Amino acid sequence: MGLVEVLVASALMAVALVVLLGSLSSLLLGARVAERRTVEMRLARNQIERLMAPQTISCPVPTVTQSVDHVTYSIETTCPPVPSSAGYIELKVTVHPLQDPSSQTLVIDRVQQ
Protein backbone atom coordinates (compact mmCIF):
# COMPACT_ATOMS: atom_id res chain seq x y z
CA MET A 1 0.00 0.00 0.00
CA GLY A 2 1.36 3.32 -0.95
CA LEU A 3 2.03 6.19 1.41
CA VAL A 4 -0.70 8.30 -0.16
CA GLU A 5 -3.38 5.65 0.47
CA VAL A 6 -2.30 5.31 4.11
CA LEU A 7 -2.44 9.06 4.63
CA VAL A 8 -5.88 9.38 3.03
CA ALA A 9 -7.25 6.45 5.05
CA SER A 10 -5.84 7.90 8.28
CA ALA A 11 -7.32 11.30 7.52
CA LEU A 12 -10.76 9.81 6.87
CA MET A 13 -10.56 7.77 10.07
CA ALA A 14 -9.51 10.83 12.07
CA VAL A 15 -12.42 12.89 10.74
CA ALA A 16 -14.90 10.12 11.57
CA LEU A 17 -13.53 9.68 15.09
CA VAL A 18 -13.57 13.40 15.79
CA VAL A 19 -17.23 13.56 14.77
CA LEU A 20 -18.13 10.49 16.86
CA LEU A 21 -16.30 11.64 19.97
CA GLY A 22 -17.71 15.14 19.60
CA SER A 23 -21.27 13.80 19.41
CA LEU A 24 -20.78 11.58 22.45
CA SER A 25 -19.29 14.43 24.43
CA SER A 26 -22.29 16.63 23.62
CA LEU A 27 -24.66 13.86 24.69
CA LEU A 28 -22.83 13.40 27.97
CA LEU A 29 -22.81 17.12 28.75
CA GLY A 30 -26.49 17.44 27.83
CA ALA A 31 -27.44 14.48 30.02
CA ARG A 32 -25.51 15.96 32.93
CA VAL A 33 -27.23 19.33 32.60
CA ALA A 34 -30.67 17.71 32.27
CA GLU A 35 -30.02 15.59 35.34
CA ARG A 36 -29.12 18.63 37.41
CA ARG A 37 -32.15 20.58 36.22
CA THR A 38 -34.40 17.69 37.22
CA VAL A 39 -32.85 17.45 40.67
CA GLU A 40 -33.13 21.23 41.12
CA MET A 41 -36.80 21.12 40.19
CA ARG A 42 -37.47 18.30 42.63
CA LEU A 43 -35.61 20.04 45.45
CA ALA A 44 -37.52 23.29 44.83
CA ARG A 45 -40.82 21.44 44.80
CA ASN A 46 -39.98 19.62 48.03
CA GLN A 47 -39.00 22.90 49.67
CA ILE A 48 -42.31 24.48 48.68
CA GLU A 49 -44.22 21.50 50.05
CA ARG A 50 -42.19 21.72 53.26
CA LEU A 51 -43.10 25.40 53.58
CA MET A 52 -46.75 24.66 52.90
CA ALA A 53 -46.96 22.02 55.65
CA PRO A 54 -47.25 24.37 58.65
CA GLN A 55 -50.29 26.58 58.93
CA THR A 56 -48.26 29.77 59.00
CA ILE A 57 -45.22 30.69 56.95
CA SER A 58 -42.67 33.04 58.44
CA CYS A 59 -40.01 34.97 56.54
CA PRO A 60 -37.08 34.94 56.28
CA VAL A 61 -36.55 31.23 55.62
CA PRO A 62 -33.02 29.96 56.31
CA THR A 63 -30.99 28.65 53.38
CA VAL A 64 -30.42 24.90 53.45
CA THR A 65 -28.17 22.54 51.52
CA GLN A 66 -28.81 19.01 50.33
CA SER A 67 -26.56 16.51 48.59
CA VAL A 68 -27.88 14.41 45.72
CA ASP A 69 -25.59 12.09 43.73
CA HIS A 70 -22.47 13.66 45.24
CA VAL A 71 -23.54 17.16 44.23
CA THR A 72 -24.44 19.64 46.96
CA TYR A 73 -27.28 21.98 46.13
CA SER A 74 -28.13 25.24 47.84
CA ILE A 75 -31.84 25.87 48.45
CA GLU A 76 -32.55 29.54 49.04
CA THR A 77 -35.98 30.90 49.87
CA THR A 78 -36.72 34.60 49.65
CA CYS A 79 -39.89 36.60 50.21
CA PRO A 80 -40.20 39.40 47.64
CA PRO A 81 -42.18 42.42 48.86
CA VAL A 82 -45.85 42.46 47.92
CA PRO A 83 -48.49 45.13 48.70
CA SER A 84 -49.77 44.81 52.24
CA SER A 85 -53.33 44.78 50.97
CA ALA A 86 -52.63 41.90 48.61
CA GLY A 87 -53.64 39.28 51.16
CA TYR A 88 -50.90 36.88 50.22
CA ILE A 89 -47.20 36.35 50.57
CA GLU A 90 -44.90 35.26 47.79
CA LEU A 91 -42.09 32.79 48.23
CA LYS A 92 -39.31 32.40 45.73
CA VAL A 93 -37.25 29.21 45.90
CA THR A 94 -33.93 29.20 44.10
CA VAL A 95 -31.87 26.03 43.76
CA HIS A 96 -28.39 25.74 42.30
CA PRO A 97 -25.32 23.56 42.78
CA LEU A 98 -23.15 24.90 45.58
CA GLN A 99 -19.98 24.51 43.53
CA ASP A 100 -21.44 26.38 40.58
CA PRO A 101 -23.41 29.40 41.81
CA SER A 102 -23.13 31.11 38.43
CA SER A 103 -25.08 28.38 36.68
CA GLN A 104 -28.65 28.79 35.57
CA THR A 105 -31.01 28.67 38.52
CA LEU A 106 -34.50 27.35 38.87
CA VAL A 107 -36.99 29.71 40.42
CA ILE A 108 -40.51 28.78 41.44
CA ASP A 109 -42.96 31.25 42.90
CA ARG A 110 -45.47 30.19 45.48
CA VAL A 111 -48.40 32.33 46.48
CA GLN A 112 -50.36 31.74 49.63
CA GLN A 113 -53.75 33.37 50.05
Partner 1 sequence: MAAIFPVFFLLYRVEVTWGDSTQAHASGLLAEESLLRDLRVYQVQTADHNSLVLTSPAGPNQTYSVTYSVDSGRLMRTASGSPPTVVAHGIKEFTAYPCSLGLVRVAIVTLGTTGTAVSLEPRLSIAPRQGCP
Residues that bind partner 1 (CB under 8 A): 13, 17, 20-21, 24-25, 27-28, 31-32, 34-35, 38-39, 42-43, 46, 49-50, 52-54, 66, 68-69
Q: How far is Cα 67 from Cα 100, in angstroms, rounded to an integer?
A: 14
Element (H, E) at 25: helix 3-52
* Least distance between partner 1 and beta carbon 51 (Å): 8
Contact 60, 33 (CB under 8 A): no
Is the peptide bond prior to 60 cis by the omega test (within 30 degrees of 0)? yes
Nearer to partner 1, 49 or 83 (CB): 49
* Least distance between partner 1 and beta carbon 31 (Å): 4
Nearer to partner 1, 6 or 59 (CB): 6
Nearer to partner 1, 8 or 85 (CB): 8
* Least distance between partner 1 and beta carbon 16 (Å): 10
Query: In sequence order, what are the beta bridge partners of 13?
Result: none
Q: How many CB atoms lie within 10 A of CB 95?
A: 25
